[in-house]
Structure 1
């Protein structure tokens, strides 16, 4: 299954493969993230409608994030064993299957296909995240932040469109008899399947395989999941910069997912329409991705800690606005935009640092493990956020998120 690479693995060949890799990843991200972007808005509202129970709805809302966590490490292991092309295409097609199941769940109000579909569509999130690491495989060390941030940035295009698929979903529904939610997930399924086809057909030669050959790393024998996890944990136990990067990525994910997941529910309770909710999530996603190239440049120029520190400041501002004006639509929208921007600063800087300091031996598995951990913590935070919102308020939820930022702030600003 290993991809053939040029007979010479010098800098010229690696640079050529990197340019082709970036072009394929950019196209793949734009198409695939349209399908992934439907989950944070339409998927959350569908969960509430189908389950008609806040406890079950809360679990359903976390299902796509949990799916991203469950797929993160297996996809990383697939990349380590067979290359990026096989891992990324498999993830997109799993997500496409999940989106197709959600068409059925939405049309007939079925709970089991709802949960399974949301879990599978989470594979798309895992692939979208791992694509940023694929961009750094052959990038020059001084340019890893920029390469990573470009792939993050182009994901904005699809991710902004995804939350608004309810509008074309309604158009399809009028002509096919599908519900608005079923029509939205039908569009998503097509986009996810096409993204898988793009990367499977065009990501040749494979960037990770090229890197391994250029580094003199022999093709690995198949290893069990447990063996790979042990290697990843050993890497983190001895690699302090990698641990700091992991803490930063996880913290940003927990804060962002907890607030973002509950915002559609909160806004629905405020009386906002699905159009306003979708627009709000689109602006939030734009905040996550729009400034990514700038963040990558600042990270490469000034370093990881200043970039993460700035991101922490933006998140505190976002959460403070959410706590102060929780019943104002304008305040919630502003808070969500800044939430995305703060996440971008911390995630891009932390991911670039991790890609620089992790060893080549555990590179793909460790990257998959980081994404799995961040999504697992994010799913836990999203699930906990539901009861917290019911028992308290959106303001209290925002204040709790500020507290979650304190350990990362201490590691960044105090401990070196």
Structure 2
């Protein structure tokens, strides 16, 4: 029955109670993920081309994407702090608003021909990806512990639609705004701005009652949440991770699997091109990789809930190891490269979904938002470093050695996870 939440939270529970709130939160997050994924993928598809046009050199083409990754990482903490204090609705709405502003700055930079302004705009545009990542944790706020991984995986799955559609509409989006005097490669960023504004408005209007604030209120009413708002600070989040072995395993799994995926993925088009693959074939391989990342995430969520988070993390490590073995030894066999990249996406999905669920399980309710923001900061920072170093590794030692080093990165993930399994059995 409808009624106010405990502790004076103003948004009432709708008819149907908590189950109705869960459905509303889930559907709102799914739609926002479709929009957010579309906004990011449509614009980022032409970001290297735009950077090359403004910077005047192929050498700086990758800096636009790098700036976006750095922005995603650095903005994770302030958005997490905002959510910890004021809830998911305020934090996610603000993140999409910053991303929309970043898109406008990119368009202004393209019009003015300013490369430094482009990098600033790309960093702010990375807030869109930060919002997309944080949304998976919002799905976990009110989920029953037995179904937490499935709730996370459903939101991750929704990204598939926007991620697949985005690159395919990038060119038409650029041409559609040419009459405004916007360079064609910058046009998708104007579209991205509009999409992020719609996503932010959706969050502001529909994410009620706020899932994080509701979860806290219910925990207080049930006597399971203790402490003050100070325990929701980022310092307290770090302390919560330090105090929990399971949280450390989860954080290592999320950062490790993401770093391996990004490091191998960013250099695969270069390797394929060096072995005679055309743009169409490279696009097909990357599409298969994206499908592996997102399309099967509900399966990973269901498995994580039924057989356990640690088992699915180990399965993800095994999939990533197979992926690096296949990709690293393909040597021009395009079908083998495609299989390797598909498994790379599948292993990433297992690690992200199961790791995110384990992280949420392992820390107290007051510290969760801060811990989740810290997780995204570490995950994106590690992947940014890995992606930057991967080009140097390929230039000096080759694509095969890049895969060897990526596989070596999985060793601490596997070791910590197996140690945790042993501890639990004891």
When the two structures are superposed, what TM-score results if normalisation uses the length of structure 1?
Answer: 0.89
Judge which range, 169-178 or 324-333, deviates more. Answer: 169-178
Partner residue, 2:219:
215
Partner residue, 1:82:
86
Partner residue, 2:244:
239
Following TM superposition, by how much is the alpha carbon of 1:382 offset from its aligned partner in structure 2, in angstroms? 1.3
Structure with max Cα Rg? 2
Partner residue, 2:299:
294
Partner residue, 1:24:
28
Aligned residue runs from structure 1 range 3-152, under 5 A: 4-6=10-12, 13-38=17-42, 41-52=45-56, 56-106=60-110, 109-152=113-156
Judge which range, 74-83 or 51-60, deviates more. Answer: 51-60
CA change 1:192–1:329 in 2 (3 A) is farther
8 A Cα contact 1:96 1:190, kept in partner: yes
The answer to whether the aligner puts 1:313 opposite 2:318 as a matched pair is yes
SS of the residue corresponding to residue 141 of structure 2 reads: coil
Aligned residue runs from structure 1 range 226-265, under 5 A: 228-265=233-270
SS of the residue corresponding to residue 148 of structure 1 reads: helix
The answer to whether the aligner puts 1:324 opposite 2:329 as a matched pair is yes
Partner residue, 2:287:
282
Following TM superposition, by how much is the alpha carbon of 1:245 offset from its aligned partner in structure 2, in angstroms? 0.3
Partner residue, 1:397:
402
Following TM superposition, by how much is the alpha carbon of 1:334 offset from its aligned partner in structure 2, in angstroms? 3.0
CA distance in 1, matches of 2:187, 2:276: 24
Partner residue of 2:369 out of 340, 364, 367: 364
Following TM superposition, by how much is the alpha carbon of 1:180 offset from its aligned partner in structure 2, in angstroms? 3.9
Partner residue, 2:172:
168
CA distance in 2, matches of 1:18, 1:370: 24
Query: Residue deviations 1:287-346, cap 9 Å, x none?
Result: 111001111101111011221111111111211222112544444433322211110001
CA distance in 1, matches of 2:270, 2:104: 24
CA distance in 1, matches of 2:49, 2:320: 25
CA distance in 2, matches of 1:82, 1:400: 41
Partner residue of 2:353 out of 348, 353, 359: 348
SS of the residue corresponding to residue 135 of structure 1 reads: helix
Following TM superposition, by how much is the alpha carbon of 1:141 offset from its aligned partner in structure 2, in angstroms? 0.8
Following TM superposition, by how much is the alpha carbon of 1:118 offset from its aligned partner in structure 2, in angstroms? 1.8
Judge which range, 112-121 or 210-219, deviates more. Answer: 210-219
Following TM superposition, by how much is the alpha carbon of 1:394 offset from its aligned partner in structure 2, in angstroms? 2.0
CA change 1:185–1:268 in 2 (3 A) is farther
Cα-Cα RMSD: 2.8
The answer to whether the aligner puts 1:337 opposite 2:311 as a matched pair is no
8 A Cα contact 2:164 2:287, kept in partner: yes
Partner residue, 1:410:
415
SS of the residue corresponding to residue 233 of structure 2 reads: helix
CA change 1:90–1:174 in 2 (3 A) is closer
8 A Cα contact 1:45 1:265, kept in partner: no
When the two structures are superposed, what TM-score results if normalisation uses the length of structure 2?
Answer: 0.87
CA change 1:212–1:123 in 2 (3 A) is same
Query: Residue deviations 1:146-167, cap 9 Å, x none?
Result: 1111001111111122233333
Partner residue of 1:303 out of 303, 308, 320: 308
Partner residue of 1:378 out of 358, 377, 383: 383
8 A Cα contact 2:293 2:346, kept in partner: yes
CA change 1:40–1:311 in 2 (3 A) is farther
Judge which range, 159-168 or 16-25, deviates more. Answer: 159-168
Aligned residues: 410
Partner residue, 1:186:
190
CA change 1:271–1:260 in 2 (3 A) is same
CA change 1:397–1:286 in 2 (3 A) is same
Structure 1 residue ranges without an equivalent (≥5): none
